């Protein structure tokens, strides 16, 4: 038994070393604000800045909105393609991968050009930014949901539910969603992190999010950006942990066809 | 059953919280009033060259600007040339709001922002731009800027402004070195010193010469000291090639953090940025700013008003402010030499304490100012040759 | 799952759907396609148009022609290499990490911690990431200094440098591993432990289990994740720029120079470069689809 756990432990240990060392180096540098001794001066500077709290909270709100819209858009689509329209899969995959190769600066300027004049003027609401973020989340959300769909027997589940008289909406929300819990959660994590760190769109559309704040601090200051990196890493981790805790409540509803 | 209801309730609460947060934050952005001046005013301004503003006109301008209520700037970091204080003072003096877009932006970003926002009268559209010299004529040719001659127009050197008033030089600095004296005990004095073996793995630029004017100027300045001239920057390329081959050049884009950590202890950049970085690091670590005596290259940036500015009067007022003595001194406090420096100096308008903080005037006596043509030629050469000089395939 | 895979080889009696039914089925993807059209395709359209225009707006093929300069072809090749290497590394080690935490018999908090950490780390990129690695493995980095003080080894004398292809790839892994972990986790969950037991009962070795059962089933998921990681690295700009300046000639850096810079500013060439990237992404999807069909044949 112990021998079987050797490789997993090694793997996790190596992973931990790889991930934690650079964070440690950043942390150590952030403590050097005061000459000759370690201090938390750079942290005080950041945490006492009201703009820090405001922009962080604002970004969290946008991130949650993005997650909701993205889920509503992607999950039914992926489900439908999986079940009924597999020939569309390459097309949908291509579309969802486009945000990787279209430079965000081009995308945001395109959004401004189109939605700053009648008939649809969206440029004065944060909805346009959320739409942009939903687009950025496409590759991650779709891939997460698609992987999850492959792992469960979608066809049988759907047929079983249909034979019990369930409507499509019921199938989606009470059969598919619960079985995709892990995928949806992971997709949500990825989206959350993206929105929190995003800079280009927020700054050109002029919304007070966390990304532009990070960039502002990063100019010409040496130690505060490192402190900020550590703080935002920690805070984001807490937020994601909270999302995971919140979702655990719904797990108790049980799954209709356990795959575990 | 109960658990399901509980989780539904939780989900509803969460969604309500999100909506509330988003909607409440919505309010903040729409607080900026939409300007009363319709698009017609902008097109009118485009076709006519505004006459020099007299004192009476200035009052009218202030009134018109106040009606517009706000100004939108772009790519103005607070630590660059003292813009932080300039913007604060402008807000206080005239009671206008200032929307600051994309502080980290480059000249290219500013031009693209104007192009994208031609139909947009909201706060995403920049009113004024501050760009590298080469971008002035480029923007004029693309019909992106409108002409305006400030009241102090006559005191701006002819070589630094467009005759029709579309763009005008704002400040200049010279190429210098920031040296982290904790790591580099013996600071270099001239560009040629950088090749010394004691500086192995220590020399960096603050940008990529293909994207940043500041980085190009670094190579160009070295050329002047190494036998090149304003017309021929090849010597600079050759020098960096040797620097790279000797292992002295570090390819990292230098920032405050890398200068302080010692990863890039010698950084080539504009003197005003070097001095501002020195201030912000407050001696931790101590920075020495070195302006060499050979190869002193001056770089000029230019101001312009967007042809699609949603707040054209506020924009003009901003220009009047920047080109007044107070504005010019504001730049000087940020260690940038304002374009009207000679005029100010001749009238003894520079306070002694401000003058004391600058590098010695002697350094600037030998400064060379490239013309637009020379600059374009050097730019073309450096950007083309950069990859074969320090590219990863070399070394 | 196995049943489903086997099912693919048995041709289902084609009950040709009536034309009206097919059209109704397409309604299911309309919301997504509309959203994508409105907020992704239309705004990016000037990317396509702009790549065929010159600075004054006239039609030209010069931008496309310029793409075939050796310098630019090299940059595409370099970008492909970096992306492929980090995608491969990310798939292998990300899978290993995920599998270890899910099936490795470790305490359950390890999985939760890994998943949430991966959520954060997946987007830890750009200047903070570059600086974190500089502070660790740069010339004055903490590991470099440690090695020098404790073991007398000068890392940079051995020829290692963070500011190279391999240094950048190592840095990219920081967001590639977590991405893989998060994407592949549900697929690993889907590997029923009964299958492993059944295989062992039949006398299969670990290798045979993986070769004939687990990997074929995971095949499509692994390939899909691989393409995702490839795209993720392919489009990455901020990290590469912050770490290596312009010395590593990657396509996003070229694009940045053309569209955003202070100096070059030929946005139309930048658009053409981006279109080239779009084409390469399409090709990579095509290749992965081909490979997916191949791996399905492994079952036989």
- Chains with 3 or more CB pairs closer than 8 angstroms to C? A, B
Structural domains of chain C, ranges and CATH numbers in brackets: 14-50 (no CATH), 62-297 (1.10.3720.10)
Chain B: closest CA distance from residue A20 (Å): 19
* CB-CB contact of C224 with C285 (8 Å): no
Q: B30: nearest CA in chain A? A: A124
Average pLDDT over residues C67-91: 93
| Cβ–Cβ gap A260/C286 under 8 Å | no
- Chains with 3 or more CB pairs closer than 8 angstroms to A? B, C
The C-alpha atoms of residue C65 and residue C246 are separated, in whole angstroms, by: 23
* CB-CB contact of B354 with B100 (8 Å): no
The pLDDT tens digits of the residues spanning C148-162 come to: 899 888 888 887 888
| Cβ–Cβ gap A93/C285 under 8 Å | yes
Choosing among B6, B23, B256, which should be mutated to test the A contact, i.e. which has the most A CBs within 10 A? B256
Q: At C61, is the pLDDT very low, low, confident or very high (cuts 50, 70, 90)?
A: confident
Tell me, yes or no, if C242 comes closer than 8 A to chain B by beta carbon. Answer: yes
- The mean pLDDT value of chain B amounts to 83
Average pLDDT over residues B64-77: 93
Helices C215-234, A89-101: crossing angle, 10 deg rounding = 30
Q: How many residues does chain C have?
A: 300
* CB-CB contact of B196 with B178 (8 Å): no
Predicted TM-score (pTM) of this structure:
0.83
- For residue B171, what are the contacts with CB-CB under 8 A and spacing of at least 6? B81, B272, B300, B301, B331, B336, B337, B338, B339
pLDDT, position C8? 52
Which is higher by pLDDT, C11 or C266? C266
Average pLDDT over residues A249-258: 43
* CB-CB contact of A222 with B259 (8 Å): yes
DSSP labels for A77-142?
HHHHHHHT-GGGHHHHHHHHHHHHHS-HHHHHHHHHHHHEETTEE-TTSHHHHHHHHHHHHHHHHH
Phi and psi of C264, rounded to 5°? -80, -60
CA distances from C71 to C75, C99, C121, C248 (A): 6, 41, 34, 12
pLDDT, position A256? 35
The C-alpha atoms of residue C103 and residue C106 are separated, in whole angstroms, by: 8
Which is higher by pLDDT, A258 or A161? A161
| Cβ–Cβ gap C1/A19 under 8 Å | no
Please determine, for residue C118, whether its predicted confidence score (pLDDT) is greater than 60. yes
Q: A129: nearest CA in chain C? A: C39
* CB-CB contact of B162 with B168 (8 Å): yes
Residues of chain A found within 8 Å of residue C183, distances taken between Cβ atoms: 140, 143-144, 147, 186
Q: How many residues does chain A have?
A: 260
For residue C269 the two structure tokens come to: 């060439």
Name the residue facing A102 among C47, C132, C177 (closest C-beta).
Answer: C47
Chain C: closest CA distance from residue A157 (Å): 12
Q: A27: nearest CA in chain C? A: C132
Burial annotation B90-120 (CB, 10 A radius, 16+ → b, else e): beeebebebbbbbbbbbbbbbbbbbbbbbbb
DSSP labels for chain C?
-HHHHHHHHSPPP--PPPHHHHHHHHGGGHHHHHHHIIIIIHHHHHHHHHTTB-TTS-B-SHHHHHTTSHHHHHHHHHHHHHHHHHHHHHHHHHHHHHHHHHHS---HHHHHHHHHHHHHHTT--SHHHHHHHHHHHSTT-HHHHHIIIII---GGGGT--TTSHHHHHHHHHHHHHHHHHHHHHHHHHTS-HHHHHHHHHTT--HHHHIIIIIHHHHHHHHHHHHHHHHHHHHT--HHHHHHHTTSS--HHHHHHHHHT-SS---HHHHHHHHHHHHHHHHHHHHHHHHHHHHHHHTT-
* CB-CB contact of B36 with B42 (8 Å): no
CA distances from A209 to A52, A69, B76, C236 (A): 9, 19, 18, 21
- For residue A25, what are the contacts with CB-CB under 8 A and spacing of at least 6? C132, C135, C136, C141, C142, C143
Burial annotation A87-118 (CB, 10 A radius, 16+ → b, else e): ebbeebbebbbbbbbbbbbbbbbbbbbbbbee
Q: At B43, is the pLDDT very low, low, confident or very high (cuts 50, 70, 90)?
A: very low
Average pLDDT over residues B190-202: 93
CA distances from A38 to A24, A27, A30, A41, A217 (A): 14, 11, 9, 9, 21
Average pLDDT over residues A4-13: 88
Please determine, for residue B50, whether its predicted confidence score (pLDDT) is greater than 60. no
Tell me, yes or no, if C142 comes closer than 8 A to chain A by beta carbon. Answer: yes
| Cβ–Cβ gap A25/C141 under 8 Å | yes
Residues of chain C found within 8 Å of residue A93, distances taken between Cβ atoms: 224, 227, 285
Q: Is A19 exposed, middle or buried (0-12, 13-18, 19+ CB in 10 A)?
A: buried
Q: At A137, is the pLDDT very low, low, confident or very high (cuts 50, 70, 90)?
A: very high
- For residue A21, what are the contacts with CB-CB under 8 A and spacing of at least 6? C136, C142, C143
Average pLDDT over residues C272-297: 86
| Cβ–Cβ gap B109/C246 under 8 Å | no
Listed residue (A209, A231, A216) closest to A59, CA to CA: A209
CA C95 to chain centroid, in Å, comes to 14
pLDDT, position B38? 35
- Chains with 3 or more CB pairs closer than 8 angstroms to B? A, C
Average pLDDT over residues B9-32: 44
Average pLDDT over residues C81-93: 96
Average pLDDT over residues B264-276: 92
Q: A23: nearest CA in chain C? A: C132
Q: What is the three-class DSSP state of B190?
A: coil
Average pLDDT over residues B250-261: 87
Name the residue facing C247 among B138, B214, B251 (closest C-beta).
Answer: B251
* CB-CB contact of B173 with B213 (8 Å): no
- Which ranges constitute the DSSP H helices of chain B? 2-30, 39-47, 55-68, 83-94, 107-116, 135-141, 213-225, 234-245, 256-261, 271-281, 312-323, 325-333, 341-346, 352-357, 361-365, 372-390
| Cβ–Cβ gap B10/A246 under 8 Å | yes
Listed residue (B116, B115, B157) closest to B133, CA to CA: B157
Average pLDDT over residues A178-206: 90
Name the residue facing B211 among C244, C247, C257 (closest C-beta).
Answer: C257
pLDDT, position B247? 87
Average pLDDT over residues C7-32: 65
**Region of poorest pLDDT, from B27-31, B324-328, C148-152:** B27-31
Tell me, yes or no, if C264 comes closer than 8 A to chain B by beta carbon. Answer: yes
**Region of poorest pLDDT, from A227-236, B2-11, B160-169, B331-340:** B2-11
Name the residue facing A11 among C35, C96, C115 (closest C-beta).
Answer: C96
Q: At B30, is the pLDDT very low, low, confident or very high (cuts 50, 70, 90)?
A: very low
The C-alpha atoms of residue B94 and residue A136 are separated, in whole angstroms, by: 40
Average pLDDT over residues A64-71: 96
Name the residue facing A139 among C32, C105, C228 (closest C-beta).
Answer: C228
**Region of poorest pLDDT, from A250-254, B116-120, B302-306:** A250-254
Burial annotation B340-370 (CB, 10 A radius, 16+ → b, else e): bbebbeeeeebeeeeeeebbeeebbeebebb
**Region of poorest pLDDT, from A221-230, C15-24, C75-84, C233-242:** C15-24
pLDDT, position A9? 92
Name the residue facing A73 among C31, C105, C182 (closest C-beta).
Answer: C31
Q: C43: nearest CA in chain B? A: B116
The pLDDT tens digits of the residues spanning B115-143 come to: 889 988 888 999 999 998 888 888 998 89
Please determine, for residue B28, whether its predicted confidence score (pLDDT) is greater than 60. no
Chain A: closest CA distance from residue B332 (Å): 18
| Cβ–Cβ gap A64/B18 under 8 Å | yes
The C-alpha atoms of residue B88 and residue B305 are separated, in whole angstroms, by: 20
DSSP labels for B123-174?
TTS-SEEEEETTHHHHHHHTT-EE-B--TTGGGS-GGGB-TTSS-EEEEEEE
Please determine, for residue C239, whether its predicted confidence score (pLDDT) is greater than 70. yes
pLDDT, position B52? 46
Structural domains of chain B, ranges and CATH numbers in brackets: 39-171+300-357 (3.40.190.10), 172-297+364-390 (3.40.190.10)
CB atoms inside a 10 Å sphere around CB A161: 20
Q: Which CATH superfamily is domain A49-249 in?
A: MetI-like (1.10.3720.10)
Residues of chain A found within 8 Å of residue B277, distances taken between Cβ atoms: 220
Q: What is the three-class DSSP state of B204?
A: strand
- For residue B323, what are the contacts with CB-CB under 8 A and spacing of at least 6? B150, B151, B152, B153, B156, B168, B340
Phi and psi of A35, rounded to 5°? -70, 125
The number of C-beta contacts closer than 8 angstroms across A and B is 130
Residues 61-100 of C with CB under 8 A from B: 71, 74, 78
DSSP B81: T
Average pLDDT over residues A167-181: 86
C19 HSE (CA, 13 A, CB side):
0
Please determine, for residue B29, whether its predicted confidence score (pLDDT) is greater than 60. no
Q: How many residues does chain B have?
A: 395
| Cβ–Cβ gap A112/B18 under 8 Å | no
The pLDDT tens digits of the residues spanning A195-222 come to: 998 988 998 888 999 988 888 777 767 8
Tell me, yes or no, if C155 comes closer than 8 A to chain A by beta carbon. Answer: no
């Amino acid at each position: 038994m112990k021998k079987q756990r050797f490789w997993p432990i090694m793997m996790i240990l190596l992973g931990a070393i790889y991930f934690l060392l650079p964070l440690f180096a950043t942390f150590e540098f952030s403590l050097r604000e005061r000459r000759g001794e370690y201090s938390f001066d750079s942290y005080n500077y950041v945490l006492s800045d009201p703009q820090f709290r405001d922009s962080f909270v604002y970004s969290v709100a946008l991130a949650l909105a993005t997650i909701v819209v993205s889920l509503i858009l992607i999950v039914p689509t992926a489900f439908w393609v999986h079940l009924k329209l597999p020939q569309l899969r390459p097309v949908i995959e291509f579309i969802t991968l486009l945000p990787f190769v279209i430079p965000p600066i081009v995308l945001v300027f395109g959004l401004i050009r189109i939605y700053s004049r009648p008939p649809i003027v969206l440029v004065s609401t944060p909805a346009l930014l959320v739409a942009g973020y939903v687009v950025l989340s496409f590759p991650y959300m779709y891939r997460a949901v698609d992987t999850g769909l492959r792992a469960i027997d979608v066809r049988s589940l759907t047929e079983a539910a249909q034979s019990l008289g369930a409507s499509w909406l019921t199938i989606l929300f009470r059969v598919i969603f619960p079985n995709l819990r892990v995928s949806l959660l992971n997709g949500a994590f990825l989206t959350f992190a993206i929105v929190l760190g995003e800079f280009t769109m927020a700054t050109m559309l002029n919304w007070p999010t966390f990304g532009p704040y990070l960039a502002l601090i990063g100019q010409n200051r040496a130690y505060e950006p490192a402190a900020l990196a550590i703080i935002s890493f920690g805070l984001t981790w807490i937020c994601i942990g909270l999302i995971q805790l919140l979702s655990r409540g719904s797990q108790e509803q049980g799954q209709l066809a356990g795959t575990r | 059953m109960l658990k399901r209801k509980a989780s539904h309730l939780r989900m509803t609460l969460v969604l309500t919280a999100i909506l509330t947060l988003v909607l409440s934050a919505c309010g903040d952005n729409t607080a900026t009033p939409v300007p009363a001046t319709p698009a017609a005013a902008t097109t009118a301004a485009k076709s006519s060259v505004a006459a020099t503003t007299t004192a009476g006109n200035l009052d009218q301008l202030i009134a018109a600007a106040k009606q517009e209520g706000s100004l939108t700037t772009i790519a103005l970091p607070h630590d660059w040339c003292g813009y932080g204080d300039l913007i604060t003072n402008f807000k206080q003096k005239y009671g206008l709001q200032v929307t600051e877009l994309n502080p980290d932006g480059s000249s290219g970003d500013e031009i693209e922002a104007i192009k994208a926002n031609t139909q947009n009268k909201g706060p995403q559209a920049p009113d004024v731009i501050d760009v590298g010299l080469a971008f002035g004529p480029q923007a004029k040719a693309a019909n992106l800027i409108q002409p305006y001659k400030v009241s102090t127009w006559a005191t701006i050197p002819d070589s630094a402004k467009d005759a029709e008033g579309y763009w005008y030089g704002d400040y200049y600095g010279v190429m210098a070195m920031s040296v982290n004296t904790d790591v580099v005990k013996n600071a270099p004095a001239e560009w040629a010193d950088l090749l010394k073996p004691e500086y192995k793995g220590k020399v960096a630029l603050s940008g990529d010469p293909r994207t940043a004017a500041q980085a190009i100027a670094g190579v160009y300045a070295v050329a002047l000291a190494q036998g090149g001239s304003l017309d021929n920057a090849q010597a600079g390329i050759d020098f960096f090639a040797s620097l790279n081959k000797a292992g002295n050049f570090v390819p990292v884009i230098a920032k405050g953090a890398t200068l302080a950590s010692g990863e890039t202890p010698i950084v080539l950049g504009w003197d005003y940025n070097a001095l501002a970085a020195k201030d912000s690091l407050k001696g931790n670590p101590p920075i020495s700013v070195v302006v060499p005596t050979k190869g002193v290259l001056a770089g000029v940036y230019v101001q312009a008003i967007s042809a699609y500015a949603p707040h054209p009067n506020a924009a003009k007022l901003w220009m009047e402010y920047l080109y007044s003595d107070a504005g010019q001194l504001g730049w000087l406090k940020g260690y940038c030499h304002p374009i009207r420096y000679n005029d100010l100096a001749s009238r003894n308008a520079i306070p002694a304490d401000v003058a004391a903080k600058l590098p010695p005037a002697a350094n600037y006596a030998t400064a060379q100012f490239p013309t637009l043509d020379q600059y374009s030629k050097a730019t073309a050469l450096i950007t083309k040759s950069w990859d074969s000089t320090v590219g990863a395939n070399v070394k | 799952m196995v049943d489903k895979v086997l099912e693919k080889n048995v041709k289902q009696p084609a009950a040709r759907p009536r034309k009206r039914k097919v059209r109704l089925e397409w309604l299911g993807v309309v919301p997504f396609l509309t959203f994508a059209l409105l907020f992704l395709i239309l705004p990016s359209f000037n990317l396509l148009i702009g790549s065929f225009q010159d600075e004054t707006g006239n039609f030209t093929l010069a931008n496309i022609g310029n793409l075939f300069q050796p310098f630019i072809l090299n940059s595409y090749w370099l970008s492909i290499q970096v992306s492929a290497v980090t995608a491969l590394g990310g798939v292998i080690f990300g899978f290993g990490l995920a599998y270890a935490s899910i099936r490795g018999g470790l305490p359950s908090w390890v999985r939760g911690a890994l998943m949430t950490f991966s959520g954060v780390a997946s987007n830890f990129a750009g200047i903070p990431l570059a600086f974190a690695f500089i502070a660790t493995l740069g010339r004055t980095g903490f590991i470099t200094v440690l090695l020098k003080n404790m073991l007398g080894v000068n890392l940079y004398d051995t020829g290692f440098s963070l500011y190279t292809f391999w240094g950048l790839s190592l840095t990219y892994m920081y967001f590639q591993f977590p991405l893989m972990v998060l994407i592949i986790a549900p697929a690993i969950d889907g590997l029923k432990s009964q299958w492993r037991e059944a295989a062992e009962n039949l006398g299969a070795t670990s290798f045979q289990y993986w070769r004939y059962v687990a990997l074929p089933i995971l095949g499509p998921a692994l390939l899909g994740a691989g393409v995702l990681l490839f795209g993720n690295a392919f489009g990455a700009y901020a990290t590469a720029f912050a770490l290596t300046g312009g010395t590593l000639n990657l396509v996003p850096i070229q694009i940045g120079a053309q569209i955003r810079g202070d100096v070059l500013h030929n946005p139309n060439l930048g658009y053409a470069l981006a279109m080239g990237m779009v084409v390469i992404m399409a090709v990579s999807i095509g290749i992965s689809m081909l490979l997916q069909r191949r791996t399905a044949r492994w079952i036989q």
